[in-house]
A and B are shown apart, each in its own frame.
Chain A
Amino acid sequence: GQNIDQPTEMTATEGAIVQINCTYQTSGFNGLFWYQQHAGEAPTFLSYNVLDGLEEKGRFSSFLSRSKGYSYLLLKELQMKDSASYLCAVMDSNYQLIWGAGTKLIIKP
């Protein structure tokens, strides 16, 4: 079967760095997505990785290792507004997105 695993909840301190991990087992691979979802709102796109390595976009970076079926989202200089759920999703061989359950990130002052 297809499976995406990510931690249910994480807590971090304002100004710090946090890494949210995602491991996957899917039928084929056409890229990995990270989305941010604030409570009660729609998911919004953060990043897309299809090749191994690190993609940096401001305070957010996303890493992919296809051989290990592993990705992480790195958030630096955390701000209170970063409190949200972070969703990992993999596009399989049929170009369908398989979604993880999401990681709820709580930022404390």
Chain B
Amino acid sequence: DVKVTQSSRYLVKRTGEKVFLECVQDMDHENMFWYRQDPGLGLRLIYFSYDVKMKEKGDIPEGYSVSREKKERFSLILESASTNQTSMYLCASSLESGPTYEQYFGPGTRLTVT
């Protein structure tokens, strides 16, 4: 079974803090993704990575950065957390190619910025 894990299920941070969200996958997937999910909105892509040290901006990269130093690990960084970054953050991974390009998701991190 594919397993995607995220470092925290719940996180509370103060405005202006630097926040690190970690994601690890154990299936040797090339692609990794960070999304945020807010009520009434679809998943929105923040950043993705096709390979180690490679990163691409998604639809809403402002206020975020990412790091992928190892194939299995993809980190999302909030440089200076703001209240509008309160959200559910979902990490996902997938194979580079395949019949379905299915994405496997981690359990999510619910981040509250006060």
Which residues from chain A sit less than 8 Å from chain B, CB to CB? 4, 8, 30-31, 33, 40-45, 48, 87, 89, 91, 95-102
Contacts and interface: CB of A to CB of B under 8 A. Distances in A.
B17 to A, nearest CB: 24
A19 to B, nearest CB: 20
Contact of A100 (B42, B101, B108): B42
Q: Is the interface of B mostly helix, strand, loop or mixed?
A: loop
A33 B102 CA distance: 8
B103 A97 contact: yes
A44 B108 CA distance: 12
A42 B108 CA distance: 6
Contacts of B101: 30-31, 48, 91, 95
Nearest to A99: B42
Contacts of B4: 42
Contacts of A101: 40-42
Nearest to B41: A101
Contacts of A8: 40
B100 A42 contact: no
